[in-house]
Amino acid sequence: MSAARTTAEARVARHPSSGKVRAALQTVGLSLVALLLVILAMRLVSDSSGRRLDKALAAGKSPAAPDFSLPRLNGDGRLRLSSLRGRTVVLNFWASWCVPCKQEAPLLQAATRRFGSASLVVVGVDAQDFRSDARRFIARYGLTYPVVHDNGASTATHYNVTGFPETWFIDRSGHLVGEHVKGPLTRRQLAENLAIALKR
């Protein structure tokens, strides 16, 4: 047995926690790799129906918003998008680990307070996230609008979501209008797209 190997074994014997630290770091590393693979898969698998929505909007059309029913994170039961017909909807896809989402949340909450739920509903769709982390995010930013959990990101895929945050605007009849905003909303983008959606 070499002197170097004996010295290394002696270090491990003196510091038994080093193996646990190494295992913890490996677990964190593997989790990050898995998360990146999921995001990459989400980008690659984003189906043709989602891409068709973007193309239709770019051509000046107003395609029907794909319906969904997802479990609420800040309320009981499930939320079905079609149950909101008659009101304008701001559909915002986000995740608690997303830094721009943290900057955007107060803007969406302010829109909720300004318009009230009678004419406008902001719906947050949390995806690629842990429910517990999403609930902490909701509490931290005082979100009162409905937030649902898209486990598996199937709804995000139908809306051609390739990153976070992304936002769609839906008119009272359930059709997509305005623009599909990829990245954090600005006040100008929110105002311009709401003006289009609210007048329809």
118-161, pLDDT tens digit by residue? 789 999 999 999 999 999 999 999 999 999 999 988 999 999 99
Q: How confident is the model at residue 6 (pLDDT cuts 50, 70, 90)?
A: low
CA distances from 57 to 16, 54, 86, 121, 199 (A): 60, 5, 21, 21, 17
Position with higher pLDDT, 175 vs 26: 175
pLDDT at 23: 77
User: What are the residues facing 14 on neighbouring strands?
Assistant: none
Q: Is the peptide bond before 63 cis (omega within 30 degrees of 0)?
A: no
CB of 109 closer than 8 Å to CB of 143:
yes
Q: How confident is the model at residue 186 (pLDDT cuts 50, 70, 90)?
A: very high
CA distance 97 to 94: 9
First-to-final CA distance of the chain: 81
CA distance 31 to 142: 29
pLDDT at 29: 80
CA distance 56 to 177: 10
Quote the percentage of the chain above a pLDDT of 90. 68
| Mean local confidence (pLDDT), 159-166 | 96
DSSP assignment of 86-122, as one string?
Answer: TSEEEEEEE-TT-HHHHHHHHHHHHHHHHH-TTTEEE
pLDDT at 12 over 50: no
CB of 165 closer than 8 Å to CB of 94:
yes
pLDDT at 1 over 60: no
pLDDT at 42: 52
Residues near 167 by Cβ (< 8 Å), separated by ≥ 6?
Answer: 90, 91, 92, 93, 180, 181, 185
Quote the percentage of the chain above a pLDDT of 70. 84
